[in-house]
């Protein structure tokens, strides 16, 4: 068998296997973004790209439906890892202050909803986690990845859907308090 024929056979098999493994449940569908992939972070003042995803609790989240609320959109590498757990607990522990500022927290990683459900339950997370298994949301926001995991980046989105702050380098243990201070400054 020639190497060309072997490559063709492997590609065909991989495509067929991928088609067989597709799930029909809406919760297992990849996030959809209306924006093209970006090269670099969004800038303050830009409109936040709209997206739609099914959260770990089964709720469909569409960013444009959250107009009128401040959105804390935070990207993190992986459920259950030490830095990501510390960051998530920070948002959990600042829930009262975030609620008082009218903020909605959305966590985004490449993990699927099964992983997100376990992570949210284990840590008592009172906010939604969104699967971005195809990296559509991360790409629309210019968030890079390493080994298939998104970088730790946060966007603060105002009530009109505009980016008001970008956090390209996040310190997990202090991040939630930093967000709360910035939200208070916006009031």
Q: What is the spatial distance between Cα 110 and Cα 55, in angstroms, rounded to a whole number? A: 12
Q: For the chain, list the domains and their CATH numbers.
A: 25-186 (3.40.30.10)
Quote the percentage of the chain above a pLDDT of 70: 79
- Asked if pLDDT for residue 126 goes beyond 90, the answer is yes
Q: Element (H or E) spanning 33, and its range?
A: strand 32-33
Ranges 47-56, 92-101, 105-114, 143-152: which has the least confidence: 143-152
Task: Read off the pTM.
Answer: 0.80
pLDDT in tens, 32-68: 544 544 458 899 999 999 999 999 999 999 999 999 9
Provide the annotated active-site residues.
84
Q: Element (H or E) spanning 164, and its range?
A: strand 163-167
Decide: residue 145, CB within 10 A, 0-12 exposed, 13-18 middle, 19+ buried: middle
pLDDT in tens, 13-22: 333 333 333 3
């Amino acid at each position: 068998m020639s190497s060309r024929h072997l490559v063709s056979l492997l590609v065909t098999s991989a495509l067929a296997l991928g088609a067989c493994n597709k799930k029909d449940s809406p919760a297992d569908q990849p996030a959809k973004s209306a924006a093209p992939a970006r090269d670099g972070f969004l800038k303050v003042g830009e409109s936040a790209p709209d997206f739609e995803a099914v959260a770990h609790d089964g709720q469909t989240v569409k960013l444009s439906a959250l107009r009128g609320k401040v959105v804390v959109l935070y990207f993190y590498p992986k459920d259950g890892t030490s830095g990501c757990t510390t960051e998530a607990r920070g948002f959990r522990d600042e829930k009262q202050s975030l609620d008082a500022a009218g903020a909605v927290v959305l966590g985004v990683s490449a993990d699927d909803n099964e992983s997100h459900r376990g992570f949210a339950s284990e840590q008592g997370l009172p906010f939604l986690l969104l699967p971005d298994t195809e990296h559509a949301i991360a790409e629309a926001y210019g968030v890079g990845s390493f080994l298939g995991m998104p970088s730790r980046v946060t966007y603060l989105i105002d009530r009109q859907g505009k980016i008001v702050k970008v956090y390209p380098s996040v310190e997990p243990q202090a991040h939630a308090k930093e967000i709360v201070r910035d939200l208070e400054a916006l009031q």
